[in-house]
Chain A
Amino acid sequence: MENGIWQPIPGMPGAFACPYVRRPDVLSANSYWIEFHGGRVLIDPGALPAQTDNLRRMLRAREGNRTLPLLICATHGHLDHVRETPAWLGDADRPVWFAAQARGARALAAGDLRQTAADLYGLDMPHMPTHVPLLTEEDERSGAPRRMRLGANVEALVRTERREGAIRQTLEWSGGAIEVLPCPGHSPDHVCYRVGDLLFVGDLLNANRPLVAGVHGWNLQELRQSLADVIRVLETGTIRWCCPGHGHPLPAEKTLDLLRRQRDQADRTGEIEELDVDRLFRTVEGALELIDEAEETFAALAGRLLYVADRLDLLDEPKLAQRCRETLDMDATDALLDAFRERCQAYSAGDVPRVAFAIEAARIVEKLRAGFAPEPLRAFLPAALVGQAQRLLLDFMGLAQGVRNPEEFVPTDVAALVAEIAAVWQASPHRDGSIADAADDPDRFAAELARRIGHPPLARRVPVRFDPGPGGPLVPLAAARFGDVLLPFLEWLGLAGAHALDVEGHAGDMPPALAIRTAGWTPDDSARTRAKLRSFARRFALAGFEWTVESNGFRLACTAAAARPR
């Protein structure tokens, strides 16, 4: 379908449609014009006055002197789809009415900030009347046709029926028919509209995306059912184009593919925390913190990979060097981080609304994560560094998606945890003998060389003594995550100037704890050190430890509270 062009609607002779498709963002949805013989329909007027101006221009160009009554149909009552409705209802040139699903109609009449998601935008929501309520409780109960007189010669007829176990409603208006498909999940009032062979799907295609899933009224079970319903409709082959609220119209086959993927994803989706203003704030804060850490971590990854590759070249291992360089697409990563930085700056300057920034940040981080393959990187770089980068991205996406992850916490004995980390430390490729062990096999030796080059030989430079101490009770800890934080922390302490480090388990303490003693180092008061310590404290907290700074190091005490969902 061509944007901005009036075109015949397939499957409905005499009817026309004209898409108004915006560059996708969350500030406002697409609008779609439909023209029947005796009236026009505007699906989702959007949320921006400039959009209303453009839509009016399109309408004037189309109608000339022949104005027709107008019915606005909302796919659902979220602000980005309907906030401009009152601007149309006051139109002096033509009579305008508004149709919305009954539950959404009540929220819109009340100007409900949560149900319309206006709270997330930090905007007010005008109260707006609905003249044609759809899918009312009475419709569903009795199924009796409902005729509504809207004006002198204008009426709407609503017919309700049950087909294949699903409610279907047909709205007859001005010589045309609009089929209404209830599709709750994204919001309780979400509907899709079918006109001829076109299906207007609102936000169904985005309903499970980060910072969309979990919005007030979002319901995974209903969403699964709605996806199944629309998939069934598309599988009949009677729809040609699907018109989403955000993004370009798509051929039915492509939409079917996207919906099936979304259905599979929805089947894998666990509990999602509600997206409220608090979570939105936390996501934005997380994004602003993430950019600094991500730039630093990915710079470390890229720098070390280049170092390893250059050294492998010097040692006449060009193929291995090339493989090393290709484990991370540094250009693509840089471009994404640049875009992320630019968005952060735009948000900080007040140029981007909070909700838009959060969604853009999540989109960029999703791309970073998609391009990040930890396994090949581990062949060259320390697992803890790779894990750190991976967790940075996952933690932010967890925050953005509102995914709770209590299964990461497993009952753990702190003494066993210290022993396990000591074993990882001892397995450093720099220990004497590790390289000689591989000398009989050229390929294994080359791989071992690469690993040795990629691992900073901290174990040699800074002695670390691990003392697990006696065992203690099992406490819920994110053990794998803890290792990925502790090892970089010890590395950092070594690089910061510590001469020696002791890691002691105090599993019998209440609560169980670890002590990290540092010799020859105390934290300075620089902003960089403070930021680094804050970052480590936050990451330890995610692993289930709360830390306190002591005169000769740090104490990490287990906190069972960390096992509770964030």
Chain B
Amino acid sequence: MALTIKVLENKPRVFVVTLAGSLDSTTYPQLESKLAYLLTEGAAKVVTLDVAGLDFISSMGIRVVFKAQKDLARAGGYLCLARIPAPIQKAFEIVEALPSMQIFSSIAEMDAYLAKMQGL
């Protein structure tokens, strides 16, 4: 199954990356390179992954999420996750990885959070 990636620069250096389909061992390089691009070319400080459209995430997909979290942290930024569907939630629960990330349950919550972002 394919992965579609849409990127929206919500405000300068604040990006929302909307994912749909399958983030698996075949498709993860697309997201990895897209996130690397946002970090280097877009000087991203905050990236929110909106994963509502994801059907599946593999270990390599989780790795890309953690790598983005780590790379953003190095640059003084951070990664958020938004609208996590049940199968994806379960995958993260398996590795008990969610508590250390900012998570939004809805677009409205995410927008409200991002609207507060100052001085980025």
Interface residues of A (CB under 8 A from B): 311-312, 314-317, 430, 432, 435-437, 439-440, 442, 445-446, 449, 452-453, 457, 460
A460 to B96 Cα, complex, angstroms: 10
A312 to B91 Cα, complex, angstroms: 10
- The 28 listed contacts between A and B (C-beta, < 8 Å) are A314-B94, A315-B58, A315-B62, A315-B95, A316-B24, A316-B56, A316-B58, A316-B59, A317-B58, A317-B59, A430-B96, A436-B66, A436-B67, A436-B70, A436-B73, A439-B69, A439-B70, A440-B67, A442-B60, A445-B63, A445-B66, A446-B59, A449-B95, A452-B96, A453-B95, A457-B96, A460-B96, A460-B99
Interface size classification for chain B = 20 to 34
**In the complex, what residues of B have CB within 8 A of residue A440's CB?**
67, 70
Whether B94 contacts A435 by the Cβ 8 Å rule is no
B100 at interface (Cβ–Cβ under 8 A)? Answer: yes
Closest to A457 in B: B96
Whether B91 contacts A449 by the Cβ 8 Å rule is no
Closest to A430 in B: B96
Give the distance to chain B from A439, nearest Cβ to Cβ, in Å.
4
A280 to B67 Cα, complex, angstroms: 58
Closest to A307 in B: B94
A452 to B95 Cα, complex, angstroms: 6
> Interface digits, B27-65 against A, CB 8 Å rule (1 contact, 0 not)?
000000000000000000000000000001111101110
List 4 other contacts, CB 8 Å, given A315-B58, A442-B60: A312-B59, A315-B59, A316-B56, A430-B96
**In the complex, what residues of A have CB within 8 A of residue B96's CB?**
430, 452, 457, 460
Which one of B25, B62, B67, B99 contacts A449 once the chains associate, using CB atoms below 8 Å? B62
Give the distance to chain B from A450, nearest Cβ to Cβ, in Å.
9
**In the complex, what residues of A have CB within 8 A of residue B117's CB?**
none
Closest to B56 in A: A316
A457 to B66 Cα, complex, angstroms: 19
Interface residues of B (CB under 8 A from A): 24-25, 56-60, 62-64, 66-67, 69-70, 73, 90-91, 94-97, 99-100
A316 to B91 Cα, complex, angstroms: 10
Give the distance to chain B from A443, nearest Cβ to Cβ, in Å.
10
A-B pairs, top 3 by smallest CB distance, nearest first, are A316-B58, A439-B67, A315-B59
Give the distance to chain B from A445, nearest Cβ to Cβ, in Å.
4
Whether A315 contacts B97 by the Cβ 8 Å rule is no
Whether B59 contacts A449 by the Cβ 8 Å rule is yes
Whether B66 contacts A311 by the Cβ 8 Å rule is no
Give the distance to chain A from B12, nearest Cβ to Cβ, in Å.
26
Which one of A315, A430, A435, A460 contacts B66 once the chains associate, using CB atoms below 8 Å? A435
Whether A453 contacts B94 by the Cβ 8 Å rule is yes
Please indicate which of the listed interface residues A316, A435, A436, A437 has the most CB atoms of chain B within 10 Å of its own CB: A316
A453 to B90 Cα, complex, angstroms: 13
A453 to B63 Cα, complex, angstroms: 14
Give the distance to chain B from A442, nearest Cβ to Cβ, in Å.
6
A442 to B73 Cα, complex, angstroms: 19
A317 to B60 Cα, complex, angstroms: 9
A317 to B62 Cα, complex, angstroms: 12
Please indicate which of the listed interface residues B25, B59, B62 has the most CB atoms of chain A within 10 Å of its own CB: B59
Closest to B67 in A: A439
Give the distance to chain A from B80, nearest Cβ to Cβ, in Å.
15
Whether B70 contacts A316 by the Cβ 8 Å rule is no
**In the complex, what residues of B have CB within 8 A of residue A460's CB?**
96, 99
**In the complex, what residues of A have CB within 8 A of residue B25's CB?**
316
Whether A445 contacts B100 by the Cβ 8 Å rule is no
Give the distance to chain B from A215, nearest Cβ to Cβ, in Å.
53
**In the complex, what residues of B have CB within 8 A of residue A435's CB?**
66, 95, 97
Whether A315 contacts B69 by the Cβ 8 Å rule is no
A437 to B97 Cα, complex, angstroms: 13
A266 to B4 Cα, complex, angstroms: 67
Give the distance to chain B from A416, nearest Cβ to Cβ, in Å.
31
Whether B91 contacts A315 by the Cβ 8 Å rule is yes
A317 to B56 Cα, complex, angstroms: 13
A437 to B57 Cα, complex, angstroms: 20
A22 to B63 Cα, complex, angstroms: 61
**In the complex, what residues of B have CB within 8 A of residue A432's CB?**
100
A317 to B63 Cα, complex, angstroms: 12
